[in-house]
Structure 1
Amino acid sequence: MAWHDVIEAPTLRAQESPLESARFGCSVERLTVSAASETPLVAVREAILGSTADVVILRYPAERIGWFAPLTGLGRTAVFADSLVYWRLSAGRGRAPAPSHELSVTAAPGIAAVEALVADIFSAYGCHYLANPLFDPAQALAGYQEWALRSVAEDGCLALRGPDGNGSSLLAFATLDEDADRSEILLAGVVPAQQGRGLYAHLLKAVEDRTLARDAREVVISTQGHNTRVQRAWARYGFEPVQTLLTVHLVRSPLLHGQG
């Protein structure tokens, strides 16, 4: 989710999600309580009780740990769906790897190449959708592919290539949401066959360089809490943890029991 929504937004954000609703075949609404918001539990409770969506995807700061138990008594099944951990880096302070003449950074490859990269890199990623039995994992992956292609259409994608520079040399890619202050990395990864070679640090450097080139001040990124491997890579590069949000899916109970 966007940095502003989870870190800076001053009030509870309620938003229907037509893309997710169409993808999973049930109505989905998102509720987000940012780290800066002073939204009380009673307001969240009222929003959930007033929602007609089949699934309400709620995110709230992890320090409000006492919220989960009351959420189980609202007439819906509360499905715990991991946490979302946000990190940031002040642009220009990254511990970049030594340059490699064998690597080059280019604009996004074509649509088919992006779809293949996402499938290769994220097919085993334990995203929050997998906690919910209503959500088809294949459709969740398709959602990541659509998300990546939206970034490509907005010139928010870069790729890391090997020495021959053709399509078969695609090693890693990152999609970005950029504003005047920051670059937010939405999706980033190295193809499984090339992992363990230090390429991810070169990908982070490419994002940091792009951020500096447009005079923005920071790079931010997030992942599921269980994904400690990538968080270690961020820490090595110089990122620092900022905030953790819990994710809860509040599902109309009959849907989980085949009652419509």
Structure 2
Amino acid sequence: MGWHEVMQAEAVRAAASPLESARFGRSVERLTVSAEAAAELSDVRAAILASDADIIVLRYPAERVGWFAGLTTLGRTAIPADSLVYWRLGVGKGRAPDPVPGMWPGGTPAADEVRRLVRDIFAAYGNHYLANPLFEAGAALDGYEEWALRSAAQGGCVTVSDQAGVLALATLEEDATRTEILLAGVVPQARGRSVYAHLLRAVEDRAASRGAAEVVISTQGHNTGAQRAWARYGFEPVQTVLTVHLIRDRLLV
């Protein structure tokens, strides 16, 4: 979920999700409350009651911790689906590793290579889809592949490679002032070699080359290993967002 939606949007935002609906065979809607939205639970309730979707993926700031009880009284089953944590780095402030001979940064791979890398890197990653009994785990991985291919089609990828091939991949969304890392990871056989830090350096260098002011990134709250790597590099935590799936009760009978 993009930085603007989570951090800066001024209102509760409801939007149909046709890609997820097609992927999972159920109508899916995204409902998002940003950190800056002056929203009340009553606003969220109204949006939920107005929705015809089978499943609503609701995200809201974790400090609204009291909201969950109210979400259980709206004729839907409310399933906690982990959290998203957002971190930020000022460009030029990263604790970048020294270059390693025989390891180099690169750009966007071919589409087939992107598919392979995503499936290799994220096969065991537990995301919010896994909390939902109506969603298949394999289809969730398909979603990551689709997401990465959209970035690749726009040239929005960074890699780290050595003589053996591509070791790590990051997919990006970029605007004039910000680089957002959407997906980032290292292939299993290259883990434990500080490759991830070199991937972060490649992203920061790319952001600096185009004059961006910051790099932002997010992950599921349980992914503490990635967050430790971000902290070592110089990222700082900014916001935690709760994810709740709201499922029409009749679908679970």
Sort the TM-score into its range (normalised by shorter chain): over 0.9
Work out the CA distance in 2 between the residues paired with 1:235 and 1:107: 25
Q: Tell me the equivalent position of 2:78.
A: 78
Question: What's 1:14 paired with?
Answer: 14
SS in 2 for 1:135: coil
Say which SS state the counterpart of residue 60 (structure 1) adopts.
strand
Corresponding letter in the other structure for 1:230: A
Question: What is the match of residue 35 of structure 2?
Answer: 35
Aligned to 2:135: 135
Q: How much does 1:194 deviate?
A: 0.6
Q: Tell me which residue corresponds to 1:158.
A: 158
Between the aligned partners of 2:148 and 2:7, the Cα distance in structure 1 is 22
CA distance in 2, matches of 1:104, 1:229: 23
Q: 2 CA distance for matches of 1:235 and 1:170?
A: 24
1:169 CA displacement: 1.1
* Equivalence for 2:190: 194
Aligned with 1:182 (options 157, 162, 178): 178
Counterpart of 1:45? 45
Return the offset for 1:48: 0.2
Q: Give me the whole-angstrom Cα distance separating, in 2, the residues matched to 1:66 and 1:40.
A: 11
Range 96-105 or range 209-218, more displaced: 96-105
SS in 1 for 2:99: coil
Structure 1 residue 101: Cα displacement:
2.0
Amino acid at match of 1:112: D
CA distance in 1: counterparts of 2:237 and 2:93, whole angstroms: 15
- DSSP 3-state at the match of 1:65: coil
Partner of 1:146: 146
Structure 1 unaligned segments of length 5 or more: list them: none
Tell whether 2:65 aligns with 1:56: no
CA distance in 2, matches of 1:28, 1:256: 15
Deviation at 1:160, TM superposition (A): 0.8
Q: Which amino acid aligns with 2:249?
A: S
Alpha-carbon RMSD: 0.6
Residue 235 (str. 1) matches residue 231 (str. 2): yes
Distance (Å, rounded) in 2 between the aligned partners of 1:225 and 1:103 = 30
**Residue type at the aligned position of 2:35:** A
- The answer for the alignment partner of 1:118 in structure 2 is 118
TM normalised by structure 1 equals: 0.96
Q: CA deviation at 1:21?
A: 0.2
CA displacement 1:80-108 (0-9 Å, x = unmatched): 00000000000000000011121111122
Match of 2:240 in 1: 244
Tell me, what secondary structure is at the counterpart of 1:85? Answer: strand
Supply the distance in 2 between the matched residues of 1:125 and 1:230 (Cα, whole angstroms).
12
Structure 2 SS opposite 1:102: coil
State the Cα deviation string for residues 172-197 of structure 1 (Å, max 9, x = none): 01000000011000000000111010
Q: Which amino acid aligns with 1:53?
A: A
For residue 16 of structure 1, report the CA deviation from its aligned partner: 0.3
Q: Which SS does the other structure have where 2:66 is aligned?
A: helix
State the Cα distance separating 1:239 from its structure 2 match.
0.1
1:68 counterpart residue number: 68
- Distance in 1 of aligned mates of 2:140 and 2:202: 28
Q: Give the match's secondary structure for 1:109.
A: coil
Moved over 4 A (4+): none
- Shift of residue 221 of structure 1? 0.1
State the Cα distance separating 1:112 from its structure 2 match. Answer: 1.3
Counting matched residue pairs gives 253
